[in-house]
């Protein structure tokens, strides 16, 4: 048992806190200096996804008792976010509503110091990206056929947007109330139709009748929490932290419908350089009956190129019927990748390389 008094131990903690703050200040100063070097070299964007991926990969080296890998990552997300802001980062446009879980995903990746703005349609999304070469886009990349997703893929095919990073996110929600301490005390629970779909299993497990109010948006859900009557709601977890006086009934709610979602960070400016081990996505528009894509896949396998995913989106009223998207890991030998792109050209296929990018997680 320690012989030091409680007061002595707390003074030691205070000294450590001061040391941590001083180290963070030094890191911010270095970030500003790095930003100056970048600008002097003509490099406008402060976001360096490959470098950041290396920083977070290095966290695997540390084994701190009582601190999980996720907890350590959460701390570094905010530290790196603060340093990125010191380099005068651009705005991050999220394709989704302000209070939705897509916005949650952006905060989980870029931290609270990031200038994140939510836009609910693809046209405004492109407008935000066009305001500055520093600005980034953040959008889910799933095989759904919504107009925004189709427009995103078509814009990437045109070369107007490129991928600079992939981020995989697990949506997490919290059950909250304006006054009820337990869900059974609430008059109703407010959700959007999407949240109801995602959290269907949670509602099935409820053992009592509950009035469910379907709201048009997550913003409307939050407005209902201002009622004088006991009202419950399911909110994205990070959104809960921005509201005061909410009673948190349960945290860590996850969807069985969408266990993991791929997000892409996009840029209208220059992307990352070729680096073995990171990813690329190749888009290829095809018409019905085209079998060239099968030959291409066979070519990739024969040359031992590592394919991570192949999916397609169907279009109407376009010169093509479908766009096939092939994701693969860049090989050590760049000549293999160059041979692949030459093979596309030889077979008369329009293939768009959508950029070289790391996977954050």
**What's the CATH code of the domain at 224?**
3.40.190.10
Q: Which residue has the tokens 């701390």?
A: 75
Going by C-alpha positions, the residue among 167, 155, 127, 157 that lies closest to residue 47 is: 167
| Residue 131 sits in the same domain as residue 250 | no
For residues 212 and 145, is the Cβ–Cβ distance under 8 A? no
Domain count of the chain? Answer: 2
Task: Provide the residue count of the chain.
Answer: 361
Mean pLDDT for 284-304 is 85
- 305 with 353, same domain? yes
Look at residue 74 and tell me if it is in a domain.
no
| Domain endpoint, select from 254, 280, 308 | 254
pLDDT tens digit sequence for 231-248: 999 999 888 888 888 999
165 shares its domain with 276:
yes
**Token reading at 84:** 């990125």
Which CATH number do you get for residue 280? 3.30.70.260
Task: Provide the token pair at 172.
Answer: 């997490």
Percent of the chain exceeding pLDDT 90 equals 60
Same structural domain, 182 and 158: no
Query: Which residue among 254, 276, 296 closes a domain?
Result: 254
What is the predicted pLDDT for the residue at 358?
96
**282 found inside a domain:** yes
Q: Do residue 146 and residue 283 come from a single domain?
A: yes
Q: Are the beta carbons of 197 and 174 closer than 8 angstroms?
A: no
HEC secondary structure over 32-86: HHHHHHHHHCCCCCCCCHHHHHHHHHHHHHCCCCCCCHHHHHHHHHHHHHHHHHH
Does any domain span residue 64? no
Query: Does 208 share its domain with 185?
Result: yes
Question: pLDDT band at 289, cuts 50/70/90?
Answer: low
Q: With contact defined as beta carbons under 8 Å apart, do 119 and 94 qualify?
A: yes
Do 166 and 177 have their domain in common? no
Question: HSE-up of 353 (CA within 13 Å, CB side)?
Answer: 19
pLDDT digits (tens, 9 = 90+) for 199-213: 998 998 888 788 999
Of the candidates 290, 359, 349, the residue with the CA atom closest to the CA atom of residue 328: 359
Query: Residue 23 domain-assigned?
Result: no
Query: What residues have CB less than 8 Å from 86, skipping those under 6 apart?
Result: 28, 31, 32, 35
Mean pLDDT of all residues in 15-40: 91
Q: In terms of pTM, does the model score above 0.85?
A: yes
Mean pLDDT of 299-316: 91
- Classify the C-alpha dihedral 233-137-353-273 as positive or negative: negative
Q: Tell me, what's the pLDDT at 44?
A: 65
Do 313 and 298 have their domain in common? yes
Contact 284, 349 (CB under 8 A): yes
Tokens (6 digits) for 63: 């084994």
pLDDT in tens, 79-123: 999 999 988 888 999 999 888 999 999 999 999 999 999 998 999
pLDDT in tens, 60-75: 888 777 788 888 999 9
What's the CA gap between 235 and 252, in Å, rounded? 11
Containing structural domain, residue 186: 173-254
pLDDT grade, residue 341 (50/70/90)? very high
Count of other CB atoms within 10 angstroms of residue 188 = 16
**Exposed, middle or buried, 136 (CB in 10 Å: 0-12/13-18/19+)?**
buried
Pairing of strands 279-286, 322-329: antiparallel
237 falls within a domain: yes
Domain boundary among the residues 193, 227, 254 is at: 254
Lookup: tokens for 34: 């790095």
| CA pair distance 173, 255, nearest whole angstrom | 9
> DSSP class of residue 185?
G
Shared-domain flag, residues 134 and 114: yes
Q: What are phi and psi of 240, to 5 degrees?
A: -60, -35
Looking at the fold, whether 113 and 241 belong to one and the same domain comes out as: no
**Per-residue CA distances from 223 to 166, 218, 253 (Å):** 33, 9, 21
Does residue 78 lie in a domain region?
A: no
Q: Which residues contact 332 (CB under 8 A, 6 or more apart)?
A: 276, 277
For residue 36, tell me if it sits in a domain.
no
Element housing 173 (H / E): strand 172-177
110 and 246 in one domain?
A: no
Please, which residues have CB within 8 angstroms of residue 324's CB and are 6 or more apart in sequence?
A: 283, 284, 285, 286, 293, 310, 311, 312
**Any domain includes 13:** no
Residues near 23 by beta carbon (within 8 Å), at least 6 away in sequence: none
Query: How many CB atoms lie under 10 A from the CB of residue 350?
Result: 13
Residues 166 and 295 in one domain: yes
Q: What is the mean pLDDT of the chain?
A: 90
């Amino acid at each position: 048992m320690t012989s030091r008094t409680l007061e002595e131990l707390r003074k030691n903690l205070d000294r450590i806190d001061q040391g941590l703050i001083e180290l963070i200040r030094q890191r911010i100063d270095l970030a500003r200096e790095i930003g100056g070097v970048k600008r002097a070299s003509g490099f406008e964007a402060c976001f360096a996804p490959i470098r950041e991926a290396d920083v977070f990969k290095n966290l695997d080296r540390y084994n701190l008792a009582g601190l999980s890998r996720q907890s350590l990552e959460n701390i570094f997300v905010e530290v790196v976010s603060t340093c990125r802001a010191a380099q005068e980062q651009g705005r991050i446009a999220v394709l989704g509503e302000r209070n939705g879980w897509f916005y949650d995903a952006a905060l989980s990746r870029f931290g609270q110091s990031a200038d994140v703005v939510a836009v609910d349609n693809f046209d405004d999304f492109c407008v935000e990206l066009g305001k500055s070469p520093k600005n980034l886009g953040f959008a889910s990349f799933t095989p759904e056929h919504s107009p925004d997703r189709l427009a995103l893929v078509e814009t990437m095919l045109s070369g107007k947007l490129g991928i600079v990073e992939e981020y995989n996110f697990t949506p997490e929600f919290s059950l909250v109330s304006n006054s009820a301490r337990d869900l059974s005390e609430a008059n109703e629970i407010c959700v959007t139709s999407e949240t109801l779909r995602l959290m269907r299993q949670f509602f099935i497990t409820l053992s009592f009748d509950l009035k469910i109010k379907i709201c048009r948006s997550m913003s409307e859900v939050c407005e209902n929490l201002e009622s004088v009557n006991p009202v419950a709601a399911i909110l994205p977890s990070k959104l809960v932290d921005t509201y005061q006086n909410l009673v948190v009934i349960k945290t860590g709610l996850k969807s069985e419908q969408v266990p993991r979602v791929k997000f892409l960070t996009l840029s209208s400016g220059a992307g990352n350089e070729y680096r073995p081990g990171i990813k690329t996505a190749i888009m290829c528009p095809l018409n019905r009956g085209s079998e060239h894509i099968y030959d291409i896949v066979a070519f990739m396998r024969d040359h031992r190129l590592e394919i991570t995913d192949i999916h397609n989106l169907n279009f109407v009223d376009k010169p093509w019927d479908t766009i096939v998207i092939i994701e693969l890991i860049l090989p050590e030998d760049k000549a293999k990748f160059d041979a692949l792109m030459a093979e596309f050209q030889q077979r008369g296929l329009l293939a768009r390389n959508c950029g070289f990018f790391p996977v954050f997680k």
